[in-house]
Amino acid sequence: MTQRRPLIAANWKMNGSVELVEQASASLNSLAVSAAEILICPPVIFLSQFPKSDKYKLGGQNVSSERSGAFTGEISADMLRAAGAEYVIIGHSERRALFAETDAVVLAKTKQAISAKLTPIVCFGETLIERQQEKTMQVLAQHLDAVYAAHPELLRHSVIAYEPVWAIGTGETATPEQAQQVHAFIRSHLSQYDKEAALQVRIIYGGSVNAENCAALFAQPDIDGGLVGGASLKPAEFAAICLSAQD
């Protein structure tokens, strides 16, 4: 039986403050959640403001596809690591839609992250139109192939986030059954690259996860935690979500 330790990851996006850093770290430091790994991905400027803790890990929300050089405004994987990050979110739908990130860019960033010993949380998800046209699995297969087909070795070092675009920041959540169906599809699709890695890889769900809906989502056999946006900005609610992964 494969044991995958759940990952509950907070994506603060371009939100937060020094005060929130203090509140979030105090809140998580008072929790006893040994069954799950807790991760906070704040804006990069706040990474070094988080006190060191064995209760949570830190991650970036983005990383450069380049190692170093004349790329004004970019932050490299080595720099994220030096600032305390152990993970980095890659290919979030906001990056794909608003910053024109292609699958090729997602692949390059994934490689950079892994070579700096960061664990990439690589995001995939269908739009509302794609779901309505019943193209969810086809679209996901295409995006997964673009990253992993030629580089199956990356899978062993990755976390996958299934984030249906229509559920992000909308208050609309995939039902636990809908999410489970897609997670199971992703796992079985990935098994063609590497059977063992597909069994081991954590596939987390993102899209309007909150304290009310998290338990039913996390109870699904192929859902290994969550990527939490809006609700992660409320320390008490995020704590409740983390605690629910403990049950």
Separate counts of helices (H) and strands (E) for the chain: 10, 8
Q: How far is 232 from 225, CA to CA, in rounded Å?
A: 14
Q: Does 209 interact with ligand PEP (rule: CB under 6 A)?
A: yes
C-alpha 64, offset from chain centre: 17
Distance set, CA 239 to CA 57, 101, 120, 188 (Å): 14, 32, 23, 32
Of 32, 84, 90, give the one whose Cα is nearest residue 63.
Answer: 90
Q: What one-character DSSP code corresponds to residue 69?
A: S
Shortest reach from residue 108's CB to ligand PEP, in Å: 21
Q: How far is 50 from 30, CA to CA, in rounded Å?
A: 15
Task: Single out the residue of 25, 110, 208, 213 in contact with ligand PEP (rule: CB under 6 A).
Answer: 208
Shortest reach from residue 94's CB to ligand PEP, in Å: 7
Measured from the CB atom, is 148 or 162 closer to ligand PEP?
162
Shortest reach from residue 180's CB to ligand PEP, in Å: 17
Shortest reach from residue 153's CB to ligand PEP, in Å: 26
Task: Single out the residue of 91, 120, 206, 225 in contact with ligand PEP (rule: CB under 6 A).
Answer: 206
Task: Single out the residue of 8, 11, 119, 158 in contact with ligand PEP (rule: CB under 6 A).
Answer: 11
Task: Single out the residue of 227, 242, 243, 245 in contact with ligand PEP (rule: CB under 6 A).
Answer: 227
Q: Which residues are catalytic?
A: 92, 163
Measured from the CB atom, is 20 or 78 closer to ligand PEP?
20
> Would you tell me how many other CB atoms lie within 10 Å of the CB of residue 148?
25
Residue ranges that bind ligand PEP, judged by CB under 6 A: 11, 13, 92, 163, 168-169, 206-209, 227-230
